[in-house]
Amino acid sequence: MAAPGPYICAETQGGGFPMWLLAKKDVRIRHSSSTFFKKYDQNFSKYCLQWYANILPILKKHQITEKKNGCVIALQIENEMFEQLFKYLPIGLSDEMRHLCEAARNFRMTVPFFTNDAFEEGSFNPKSSKFGIDLYGFDKYVIFVPISSPLGALLGDSTKQTAGRIEFADWEPKTFSAAVDIMEKKVRSFKGGAAESPIFIPELQGGWFNHYTVPYTYDDIYNFYGDNYTNTLVNSVIAQGSTMFSIYMFYGGTNWGTLGDPDVYTSYDYSACIREFGYLSGKARRLRLAFCFIKSFSNLISQTDLVVGNAEKDWTLSVSPPQILNRIRKTAMSNNATEFVFLRNFSSEKRSKVNFTLKFATKSIKMNCNLPYKQSFIALCNYAFCDNRFHLLLNTAPIHMRIKQDDNTEIWMIQNDEECSGEFAFRGEVKVEGSLKAEIRNFHISDDNYSIVAFNKGAGWASLSNGVDSAKLLIFSLNSEDLLTFYAKFEESWFSKTKITQPHSAFTNPTFCCWGVDGAKLYDGKLSIEATKDQQYIFSLNNSCPQGFQEIDKLGEVEDDNITKYLGAPYLYIYSLVKETSPKQFFEFKRPALTNWHFRHTSFQSLPWVPLKNLASTNYEFKPSMDPLDFGFTSGHVLYKFTFDINNKATTIEFNISYRHRATIYLNGEAVGGSLTYSLQLFQPGTKVGPEWNFGGWKRFTLPKNILNETNELVIITESFGLNRQAFIFNDCRNPRGILGLKFSKGSLKNLKSFISGVDIKNVIDSFSSSGFPDENISQWNIVDTVKNKSTAIELELKCNQLPTWFKGDFQYTRTHLHIPLRLQMGGRGTAYIWVNGFLIARYYGNGDSPQKNFYIMHGILLEGTNEVKLLCYDGRVENKDNSNENIFVEIKEWKVNDSKVNLNDRWSGNIEENGKSYVVFRKDLKL
């Protein structure tokens, strides 16, 4: 699904619109005349058309309607644009949507069009009005981090802190249920296209982003949601009949340079399924299991109807606690009675033990389940297989995948361990063989026999037969740790290079599946694996033995319990990594040392200063007639210079100043103060989102008398966290930046003159790659002779009152057989902009304006051999002048992750743990 905008959002500066367009202040961006109000702007539409003229011909070539191996299946028009708010407030423009849809069709886009309502409001519902949209879509964000919630944006932060650490209250299942469990009914009530087309969620919550000034990181947000949140959300929306959704974000990544808007800092990790440094988290691994189930049963679950009452069964189901049973849906496939039972542990008692009762006319059957609080899975009910010779009434242990070997044999991958376990109820008697020991309870009800099979907890395999014919069910039980490494490759018939003849209503079997290593991916006949030093075997479940593997029974004598529990299992093969990874030095990693440091100071006198016109009526007040956007100064810093004279050095010089977002003040070349104007609340000075009022946010400063001269130079470095993103109903992308106003105390000075300096982004290749300092590319450097080395950590001297200082060093990097994501770790209370090999990768704030201290160095920007690190550092603090050296600490490290042996959520979180395990994996391609 392609989403070319024109509006992008994604917490980027200006919502993704180019800065030169925002600078055209006669153009109404997104047609907004003010917050809540729109008026169609032909000029803005003209620029949108120009964008479409460039991007859509590229997408056109890749439409599935254009060629067999096309990949674009649908086109999103605009992004999170309301037609109406709360059903009654008409805040959208029909002409805007019609214009964009018509333009896209004129550029020969032939796939279905959709848009994404910011939440379920029925905006631009197809067929009810002629907008050109084919599919109604809406975004679904359910649980917010407390500080980021709509209520938090209005009322401010009420989150508790202890010893500088955040204390999040657990997210409430009641909030979750209230948001999700009415979705189907509400969307269908919109009628028109929303009542007929699949329930479609273009953005389904995959985590949440983080803000400046907060005391917590993405690791805390990950812990707030937990490993199972996204999986539970996916299962819950499928329970509501949704069969189309895209997770936002599945991988968040990084706001390189100054890409982000004021809502987000450098990292856009999002606590997503794939963490910023490429780590496949437990959240992703659990979701992958859910997708394996959905894909395995796609012929049955792709279209379902809600079950109300007993339907066609000769028994009824009750669950205790009742909150565990979310919904039951029946496949819409003709001549098939399979039902899907959506189980979700939102019990008020938070207990894991669940009791099921299958009540027949004359007798009841009891079943047990252990389902942890806030976890979920989809169970099968009335599922017949092996040509109806096996009949599953219900499973209360998760089935994660099925494989149909032939008409006589089916394979299930299940979980039945200490974390999650249950039983299987079959119609008829069954026999069990294999390493999995089982207790079978038989029942005779109304001339029918029933069997409840309860396997011993743990890993192994079992073969179930009906004792009548050759029908066979093979069950492989994996423990939680192995399940989190489980990988299955499903071949999509549309994109397959080989012809797949089976109809869409047929079984969907994986072409390959395996477990045992951190990562696996099958493509072009190769299995690309990633393994840690503790992972020595790859298990594969397939029709035939893959190249390089061997039958598990041909290993000879083995004592490893991970292998012996599967001995005798059919279709199971193994690949040994022992010989390849056994040398101790195989996984050794030596951190790169930062060396060859140079420095230079910014010379304010040498910068290119442009005189500013002053709108103020007196000699004591400064109000610029042009703001930074007019100059193209939208990336990072904007510098202001004021020159003035005084008659008496004993005079107290005070001034009030309003700026956005940060300011550092220098008087005659020496830092004398600085502060921040930023707010997490709506309508406040420096607000992260939404319009702000021009009053408020003023700060008062007194200039030190001992630094004043008769003729003075006052330089104020302002830094913007970015332009607001014009989200939803807001008209905020031109919120003021830089200095909004400055007022000196009357009678204190004379001959006030003002100047501005910065970098015009129209003159650089990347709009978000500049610090805003005009001297950022000067090549004159001095050797640093005061570097302090502590192992691979570097200390760079930075006096709090000195001029902004540039540092440059290098490190060596060699590509090996290991995959080792790197981070640059910063310390100290200064501010730093960070470049690696010419790429502005990050912004660091040691004073707490941002919580981030570790910055991902993307693998693609690393060079074989010598790599350069460049820093712009300054510190405007004036306290503790007697101890004015506050060193900047710099080190390049591998990612150290939690390696809990007890808690799998911690073990697979990807959270930084400095005393944890180095994330180092061995990569290899296996030909199959």
The per-residue pLDDT for range 438-496, each reduced to its tens digit, is: 999 999 998 899 999 999 999 999 999 998 899 999 999 999 999 999 999 998 776 66
**Residue 733 confidence (pLDDT):** 96
Residue 823 contacts residue 895 (beta carbons within 8 Å): yes
Judged against a pLDDT cut of 50, whether residue 391 lies above it is answered with yes
> Between these two residues, 798 and 694, which has the higher pLDDT value?
798
Residue 779 contacts residue 859 (beta carbons within 8 Å): no
Least confident of 29-38, 88-97, 265-274: 88-97
Please report, for residues 45, 96, 103, the alpha-carbon distance to residue 93 in angstroms, rounded to integers and kept in the order given.
12, 5, 16
- The whole-number average pLDDT for the span 56-62 is 97
Sorting pLDDT into bands at 50, 70 and 90, what band is 839?
A: very high
β-pairing, 165-167 with 160-162? antiparallel
- The whole-number average pLDDT for the span 508-528 is 93
> Between these two residues, 435 and 886, which has the higher pLDDT value?
435
Place of tokens 């044999």: 409
Q: What percent of the chain has pLDDT over 70?
A: 95
**Residue 507 confidence (pLDDT):** 63
> Between these two residues, 359 and 310, which has the higher pLDDT value?
359
**Residue 458 confidence (pLDDT):** 93
Judged against a pLDDT cut of 70, whether residue 629 lies above it is answered with yes
What DSSP line would sit under 134-201, residue for residue?
-EEEE-B-----GGGSHHHHHH----EEETTEEEPPPPPHHHHHHHHTTHHHHHHTT-HHHHHSPEEE
Please write the tens of the pLDDT for every residue from 251-288: 999 999 999 999 999 999 999 999 999 999 999 999 99
Write down how long the chain is: 928
Please give the span between the terminal C-alpha atoms of the chain, in angstroms, as a whole number. Answer: 31
Sorting pLDDT into bands at 50, 70 and 90, what band is 503?
A: very low
**Residue 412 confidence (pLDDT):** 98
**Residue 257 confidence (pLDDT):** 96
- The whole-number average pLDDT for the span 408-420 is 96
**Residue 826 confidence (pLDDT):** 96
Please report, for residues 6, 13, 103, 678, 689, the alpha-carbon distance to residue 9 in angstroms, rounded to integers and kept in the order given.
10, 8, 21, 20, 12
Closest CA to 402 of 242, 486, 294, 493: 294
Q: Exposed/middle/buried for 312, CB within 10 Å: 0-12, 13-18, 19+?
A: exposed
Sorting pLDDT into bands at 50, 70 and 90, what band is 504?
A: very low
**Residue 578 confidence (pLDDT):** 87
**Residue 880 confidence (pLDDT):** 47
Query: Rounded to whole angstroms, how far apart are CA atoms 524 and 543?
Result: 19
Average pLDDT of every residue of the chain? 91
Query: Rounded to whole angstroms, how far apart are CA atoms 758 and 633?
Result: 6
Token pair, residue 801, equals 């009152």
Judged against a pLDDT cut of 60, whether residue 543 lies above it is answered with yes
Residue 120 contacts residue 87 (beta carbons within 8 Å): no
- The whole-number average pLDDT for the span 315-329 is 96
Please write the tens of the pLDDT for every residue from 153-202: 776 665 666 555 677 899 999 999 999 999 999 999 999 999 999 999 99
Closest CA to 267 of 319, 333, 323, 220: 220
Place of tokens 């060093």: 809
Torsion of CA 158, 211, 658, 161, to 10 degrees: 30
pTM for the whole structure:
0.96
- The whole-number average pLDDT for the span 680-685 is 91
- The whole-number average pLDDT for the span 744-753 is 84
Judged against a pLDDT cut of 80, whether residue 786 lies above it is answered with no
Judged against a pLDDT cut of 70, whether residue 347 lies above it is answered with yes
- The whole-number average pLDDT for the span 716-721 is 98
Query: Rounded to whole angstroms, how far apart are CA atoms 320 and 137?
Result: 35
Greatest mean pLDDT among 98-107, 155-164, 309-318:
98-107
- The whole-number average pLDDT for the span 893-905 is 90
